Amino acid sequence: MSDPILSRFALNAFEMLGDEDPELYKLVEGEYRRQIYSLAMVASCSNAHPSALACEGTFTSNVTAEGYPGARFHAGCEYVDQFEQLAIDRAKKAFKAQYANVQPHTASTANQVVTSRLVNPGETLMGLSLDAGGHLSHGAKVNISGSFYNAIGYRLNDKGFIDYGQVEELAMEHKPKLIICGTTAYPRIIEWDRFRKIADKVGAYLLADITHIAGLVIAGEHPNPIDIAHITTTCTHKQLYGPRGGLIMMGREWDLPNPRGKGTLSGLMQSGLFPFTQGAPIINNIVAKARALDRASRPEFKELAKRIVMQSRALAQALADRGMNVVSGGSDNHIILADTMASFNVTGIIAEKALEECNIIINKNFIPGDQLSPFITSGIRIGTNSMAARGLTEEAIGQCAELICRVLKSVEVVSEKEYRLDTEARDKYRDEVKQIALQFPIPGYPLPED
């Protein structure tokens, strides 16, 4: 590097923040320390790589660039076109795709693009019910996907696996235009080809939303739907350790005819994103996506993905050994769903709050057949993306399982939402968490000196 101009820019930027707005600097620094000293096990989070965060924090944000590379509505896009093309090429390479659109602000937006272009208001789509582990954008009543369209939800069987028989029955009965397969709280492999057979049987398009498992897909730790589903969407932050944002991709069927007119299905996605759904893209976000996609395509990332699954399996087993009822009996990906009510008579919300007090960050979650409200729930969802990046060993994973179960067993339940946790015990748990966090620091996140 002849002139580390970008490093000077970044240092200067934080110094300006500290000098000009100490109140905000203190808050941002507080969040940094919170992340350093806690163990983040929320399945939908990870530690974004510092180089991706650096890309996102740049002046590339200053460019307005409606349109696509080579076809913009604004001048000044010489570098912007190259950033975006690089991100597209890297997305295609990583996922073995033929088409990629890197502009979606989020995966929810990506799903909205696909849904709104393939289903007319009032027509039918199908997705995994929110309370069975689906996503808001897969047909939840409180979302556009469940209020503008006639959304039919399929569910899990008693063992906690997708009920493919029910998917087929519902598809035959309701003849959806679009079937969405993808989950937010499902610990098992998704059988894309079974979904495709059902979609073909009823003449539906198939959308695979791989938001939660995108890293495992790239690394070959989960089957890739790119050539099975008509369209695949993902976010770039959960398991790609990149910026918050979305992608729309297609595989071998990228040139199917556009059901709305001239051109191809991928052309419909292109215009469905801009100008139908979004305006100007977030350029700094696209630069950061390019960076994250490059990292995710490297051999080291395969090791990380293997560790994600290894840790998840080990944690599921270690929790079960300590009396936790693990939904579906284990995990094939990064997610563990645990029934805390059946295990320790503790609701999901109490488990979430009590663990948070001890600096273990998980989230309350519905478990299959849950009778409690979404604000309370009977269980929790745990994920290993962040712990895998930190490189926790199997022994340390066992320590985490032990800590989680000890905290939940020591909670004194007062009501569905209220509990007491002895402060001396809590401080001891916090200290144990801190020791693990210091032993396995987040890569690229320097430890505070004090």
The answer to whether the CB of 291 falls within 8 A of the CB of 56 is no
Minimum distance of ligand DSN from residue 254's CB (angstroms): 27
For residue 362, CA distances in Å to 90, 110, 167, 336, 351 come to 32, 26, 30, 11, 9
- The torsion angles phi and psi of 335, rounded to 5 degrees, stand at -105, 135
For residues 85 and 106, which CB has a smaller minimum distance to ligand DSN in the complex? 106
> How far apart are CB 183 and ligand DSN at their closest, in Å?
9
The residue nearest ligand DSN at its CB is: 44
Nearer to ligand DSN by Cβ, of 186 and 274: the residue is: 186
Distance between CA atoms of 272 and 16, rounded to whole angstroms? Answer: 40
Q: 89-128 mask for ligand DSN (x: CB under 6 A)?
A: ----------------------------------------
User: Sheet holding 205-209: strands in order across?
Assistant: 99-101, 246-250, 231-235, 205-209, 178-181, 124-128, 150-154
Comparison of 117 and 138: residue with beta carbon closer to ligand DSN: 138
Question: What gap in Å lies between CA 88 and CA 428, rounded to an integer?
Answer: 48
Do 20 and 339 touch, CB atoms closer than 8 A? Answer: no
What is the closest distance, in whole angstroms, from the C-beta atom of residue 212 to ligand DSN in the complex?
6
- Contact status: 38 vs ligand DSN (CB under 6 A): no
Closest to ligand DSN by CB, 44 vs 236, is: 44
The answer to whether the CB of 381 falls within 8 A of the CB of 394 is no
Size of the residue set binding ligand DSN (CB under 6 A): 3
Closest CA to 284 of 330, 243, 234: 243
Backbone angles phi, psi at 22, to 5 degrees: -60, -30
- Burial environment of residue 20 by CB neighbours within 10 A (0 to 12, 13 to 18, 19 or more): exposed
Q: CA torsion, points 218, 332, 44, 350, in degrees to nearest 10?
A: -170
User: Looking at beta carbons only, is 137 or 359 nearer to ligand DSN?
Assistant: 137
Residue closer to ligand DSN (CB basis): 44 or 103 = 44
Query: Nearest distance from residue 381's CB to ligand DSN, in Å?
Result: 8
For the chain, what's the residue count? 450
Binding to ligand DSN, residues 166-195 (CB under 6 A) = 184
Tell me how far, at minimum, the Cβ of 253 lies from ligand DSN, in Å: 26
Distance in Å, CB of 210 to ligand DSN, minimum = 12
CA distance 148 to 141: 9
| Residue nearer to ligand DSN on the CB measure, 129 or 184 | 184
Exactly one of 44, 103, 331, 385 binds ligand DSN (CB under 6 A); which one?
Answer: 44
Of the pair 72, 138, the CB lying nearest ligand DSN is at: 138
Q: How far is the CB of 14 from ligand DSN (least distance, A)?
A: 28
Nearer to ligand DSN, 80 or 181 (CB): 181
Q: How far is the CB of 44 from ligand DSN (least distance, A)?
A: 3
Please report, as residue ranges, which positions from 242 to 261 form the binding site for ligand DSN (by CB under 6 A): none
Strand arrangement of the beta sheet that strand 325-326 belongs to: 325-326, 335-339, 379-383, 363-365
Q: How far is the CB of 434 from ligand DSN (least distance, A)?
A: 25
CA dihedral of 381, 358, 340, 367, whole degrees rounded to 10: -20
- Torsion on CA atoms 148, 197, 221, 101, rounded to nearest 10: -50
In whole angstroms, the minimum distance from the beta carbon of 374 to ligand DSN comes to 12
Q: How far is the CB of 297 from ligand DSN (least distance, A)?
A: 23
Q: Select from 49, 135, 230, 334 the one that contacts ligand DSN (CB under 6 A).
A: 135
Q: How far apart are CA 447 and CA 352, in angstroms?
A: 26
CA 187/CA 399 separation, integer angstroms: 21
The residue (of 226 and 235) whose beta carbon lies closer to ligand DSN is: 235
Residue closer to ligand DSN (CB basis): 379 or 398: 379
Exposed e or buried b per residue across 168-207, where buried means at least 16 C-beta atoms within 10 angstroms of its C-beta = bebbeeeebbbbbbbbbbbbbebbbebbbebbeebebbbb
Residues that bind ligand DSN (CB under 6 A): 44, 135, 184
